[in-house]
Structure 1
Amino acid sequence: MSAQAPVRRITAPQIAARKGGTPIVALTAYSAPMAALIDPHAEIILVGDSLGMVVHGLPSTIGVTTEMMILHGQAVMRGSSRAMVVIDMPFGSYEESPGQAFRNAARIMGETGCGAVKLEGGSRMAPTIRFLTERGIPVMGHVGLTPQATHTLGGFKTQGRDTDSWAGHLQDAVDVAEAGAFSIVVEGVVEALADRITEAVALPTIGIGASARCDGQILVLDDMLGLTARVPRFVCSFAELGAAADRAIADYAAAVRDRSFPGDDNVYR
């Protein structure tokens, strides 16, 4: 009997080749069990710096460290075998210079085994993206609403409501694409602008709060499972696991207090 061929992970060139094809499915994950659930269904698992808020209770992504990203990235890699794992570069780990970005990206990839890194920023980050890709590090770009820059943007505000700003957003996407990114997240922009960006670049766009006509979509897993109390308008809850968990915990607490748990089936004789 011949041995079953090992599962090969999806690669950056395979994602890049999906432009205009079947939409790319992407979700965030921060742990091995969640990665294992996503792996059969998605092409990309993003270890997002949103873990700072979702997992660690931070007020924003600003306090996330490279060490945190590596720890969660290692867990997601252990829990998955098929999807391409992309890890966010946290605030302060790449903006200073292309050299700083390379050192941290190489560390993230080396210590986790992930397939790519993601960094935020448009035209201003194009030289850094080019520096990384020319040295063998696949990069996913991120334009539009960039959460690491919310202090300068004035909060989590939809981008592109003023059509005068469209040229700048389009240039951001074009420059990221020309710098060598294999895909680009388009976040929090008006639908028509997302469509223009998707038409303007030859690499796949991954929408979040953008347009159904992007080449793929991504959501924070906890948001779409109903595990977060407040979610942005663009999130569709595909389950209400938060409410189910609340009921289960309440039932457990009641069973402990009335001594119906543990029962005969739950103890050793």
Structure 2
Amino acid sequence: MCAGSNVQYAGGRAGRNALTSEDRLTTTEIRKAVRTLKKNKARPFCEGGRQPHFICICSPEATYDLQNDDMWKNVSTYSNSEAIYSGEIGRLFGVVFVESTEAKVFSQSVHNAVKAATTSSKTFVLKNTPTEAEKEYLSVGGNTIHIGSNEYTLDSEAPYDADTNTVKLTEAATLTANSVVWSDDAAKSDNGSRAADVHCTLVFGKDAYGVVDLEGRGAVQLIVKPHGSSGTADPLDQRATVGAKVAAYAAVILNDLWLVRIEHTVS
């Protein structure tokens, strides 16, 4: 659901890497998203006799910032019997808020440094042991990185050597030791400082997306192993287990105009 193109950047910013630490989720951002959905004629949810509403999925950090807003309406102001969604925490402006620890967060992939100075070289060595996120990002040819105040493109064929922590660029560069190496795939980074995480809050209407079961059966499969099923591994028949697994399924956006992704930072 975070792959949609209907994006709203908090504070009216032009893009993800322009967001600052002050561009947090507010009731104003929620109202803008509701306005967009209404203009796009998004269908509200209204099952179970509830008033028509849209749904918002947000992270606990986003909830914390939102609840600092004076206009926030706590879930306790309406009947508990209405709280039918798992994780439901409140309602405001015709939007029901559902908190989820699985809400999408964009973190800065690369924040490292140049180990030794180079002169007109396409390669350089990283100073610090790369994280898994850094390795993954640097291994994709065509990705861009910043070194100091300049932007460079990673080589398309062999951009990163994991054995030597060597990065290869498409063009030669003269670099100084300890220059900061960073990617701009999160919030704004000032002079190479660590960029803040960007959280995604989704506000959507009914039928904005759909889930397709690829195996033609329920997405969750319950597996029960009774006493005695372990054979000689359980000679006294003392152990039984119950587990569940998610079978193959796919989720797809059905109407991009009925789903707004608000990108913002958190406190």
Larger radius of gyration: 2
The structure with the largest helix share of the pair is 1
- RCO higher in 1 or 2 (8 Å CA, sep ≥ 6)? 2
Pick the structure with more strand per residue: 2
- TM-score range for the pair, normalised by the shorter chain length: under 0.3
TM-score of the aligned structures, taking structure 1 as reference length = 0.24
